[in-house]
Amino acid sequence: MSTLGTLAVIFDLDGTLVDSEPNYYEASRQTLAEHGVPDFTWAEHESYVGISTRETVEIWRARYRLGAPVDELLAVTNRRYLELARTRTPAYPQMRKFVELLAADGVPLAVASGSSPEAIDAILAGTGLDALVRTAVSADEVAHGKPAPDVFLEAARRLGADPADCVVLEDAAPGAAAAHAAGMRCIAIPYVAAQADAPGFATAALLLRGGQAEFTAQSAYSWLMEGHRRGTRDG
């Protein structure tokens, strides 16, 4: 067993483990421009951080009165995103180190994401993280995306872990809310600094307001170790 006992760690993917939001923005911008929305901005894109691509497309369809079916818009956006994701999705260096620390310690690891299964697989393979994180759950595989807890609960089930033993890493408020709803502790690393006070982040066990710039593998690992020691003493 790991020195962290029965702990399991579940990572959100986009904006948490890897810096993929620029790729999602570009895929979204191209799709919307093709359907008569020529001026989609990065600031607008930020409002969709943390929700699934399908839900994003459903909102677009209503907001911009798009005629194309949701499935068509989703397929086009996913195809464009995958083309970008395969070649230019960097893992955050400190996150990669954190994964390596946890894997070396035998901690069960999973990814739980609003992206499609194809996108998750492409990114994990492209970054080499698939060698360390072998369990992945897409919101497409469960009934409801974040902020519902479904994707995290399914990840815990696949890992054979009790939700109470799981720690989630998240960059978006809907994901932090989903972790709380799943009965899991959350390390929150806001991708959009201005959203650090969003209600979803209020339940996080550890909130790093500075985002990725404030995150280090060693400090996160030490926080987990301290929590384990405290739990052992309290037990």
Residues taking part in catalysis:
12
Alpha helices by DSSP H, 35-107: 42-46, 53-63, 70-85, 93-104
Alpha-carbon span 151 to 138, nearest angstrom: 7
Q: End-to-end CA distance of the chain: give it in Å, rounded.
A: 18
Alpha-carbon span 156 to 168, nearest angstrom: 10
Residue type, 34: E
Q: Which helix (H) or strand (E) holds 168?
A: strand 166-170
Tokens 């978006």 found at: 172
Residue type, 219: S
